[in-house]
Structures are given as structure tokens and as C-alpha cells.
Homo-oligomer: A and B are copies of this chain.
Amino acid sequence: MGIVKVTAFTISLDGFGAGPNQDLNNPLGVRGCELHSWFFPTTIFQNMIGKAGGSTGVDNKFAEKSFENIGANIMGRNMFGPVRGPWPDDSWKGWWGDNPPYHTPVYVLTHHAKEPLKMAGDNTFYFVTDGIESALKQAKAAAKGKDVRINGGVSTVKQYLKAGLIDEMHLVMSPVFLGAGENLFSGIDLAKLGFKCVENVAGANCTHLILKRET
């Protein structure tokens, strides 16, 4: 049976998974992009943007692993795009170009119904309006025994954490302070939720933390 996991979810040293003021120019909020500077030099990212080379060490290994054995993805609407409120039309197709990096069904949490969006590379986005548990149920069915990845953003991850629905997390701590934005830890007691840090591994540009929930 697959598990429900968060992988390569990057936060600042002060716990922010995105900066403040997300918009079209700042999909991760102001300075949010700095969080991910560990990922850009990796071979897996370089390959994603069609380039050869890249780093092959710890950061690349964890980045590779973050995509493994995933049968379905879930994300919040703000991760899908900057559009708010009812969908005005079908023009927005995500941040990722014609062939998004998911290659599975992707369930997008929203309050506003929308037809599924089929894209190249076996990516289909389904828009789920009846809550996180429904989205997870659909994702599990689609994953056919593989894992379901909860991608983000912070609010989506916290909703699934509070509901006790996440089994394992791979957090990446980037050595920056954001000071403001969306904080993963505020209002969440990971200890009380049963999570322990079972691995704490330094990469070239960040620290990788593996958290498992004792059940």
C-alpha cells in the first residue's frame, strides 16, 4: 500500500514555506524563490529544463527521491496559480508550461468547480470542491497502490497534517531567513501529531530532514 507523503518541501530557517504577497511575478511570495536555490544546481532540475550536467551529491539524491513512486499529486489552488475566486475562463494552465513535472493525476483543492485540464506528459488536473478528504480518496484510487504526494502550499500541507492524514515528510531547510510569509510551524505541534525527525542530513546548500509519524 502506498503512503501519503510530503517531499522536498522547502522552508526557511524560521519556518516559512513561502514569502508574503504571492502574485504572478512572485509565485512563491517575495523572496520565496531563494528557498529553492538548493534545487536549481541539481542534475535532476537541470535535466528538467533541458540542460546537461548539474550536481550529483546529497541534494540531487534527495531531489530525485522526492519524485519516486508517486501515483497521484495533490496541491492547493494557490500552488496551481494566481487566479482567485471563480475561474474566469480556462486560460490559466499552471506555472509549468505544456508538460508539467507531475506525470500523474493532480488534484487541485478549490472552492470553485472547473472541468479537468488534460495536458502533455500524462498530466491531468482535477479540480476538487468537496474538501481534502475527498481529494485524498480520489488520489489514492488513482495512485493504484503507489504513494500520494501532498505538494503544497503551506496551508494545504497544514490542513492534511492537522487531519492526521500525512505519514511521512521530507523537509528541506534552506539557510535563509524570510521573517514573514506562510509559516509551516505556526499553530502546528508536530511532536503532538506524532512526528519525529529520523534523519538529518546536510547537503551542499541545505539540510534535509526526514520526519516519520509514529502511529
Binding site for B on A (CB under 8 A): 13-15, 31, 171, 173, 175-180, 185-186, 188-192, 195-197, 200-202, 206-207, 209, 211
Work out how many copies of this chain go into the complex.
2
Residues of B contacting A209 with CB < 8 Å?
Answer: 13, 175
Q: Name 29 interchain pairs, CB-CB below 8 A, sorted by A.
A: A13-B173, A13-B197, A13-B209, A14-B185, A31-B191, A173-B173, A173-B207, A175-B197, A175-B209, A176-B191, A176-B196, A176-B197, A177-B190, A177-B191, A177-B197, A177-B211, A179-B188, A179-B189, A179-B190, A179-B191, A179-B192, A180-B189, A180-B191, A186-B186, A200-B202, A200-B206, A200-B207, A201-B202, A202-B202
Residue of B with least CB distance to A206: B200
A interface, by DSSP: helix, strand, loop or mixed?
A: loop
A92 CB to closest chain B CB (Å) equals: 31
Residue of B with least CB distance to A189: B179
Knowing A185-B14, A197-B13, A200-B207, the reply to whether A191 touches B178 (Cβ < 8 A) is yes
Residues of B contacting A201 with CB < 8 Å?
Answer: 202
Residue of B with least CB distance to A178: B191
Residues of B contacting A175 with CB < 8 Å?
Answer: 197, 200, 209
B207, A195: Cβ atoms closer than 8 Å: no
**Measured CA separation A186–B183 after assembly (Å):** 10
Residues of B contacting A173 with CB < 8 Å?
Answer: 13, 173, 207
Residue of B with least CB distance to A31: B191
**Measured CA separation A113–B141 after assembly (Å):** 68
Residues of B contacting A13 with CB < 8 Å?
Answer: 171, 173, 197, 209
Residue of B with least CB distance to A184: B14
B202, A207: Cβ atoms closer than 8 Å: yes
A55 CB to closest chain B CB (Å) equals: 16
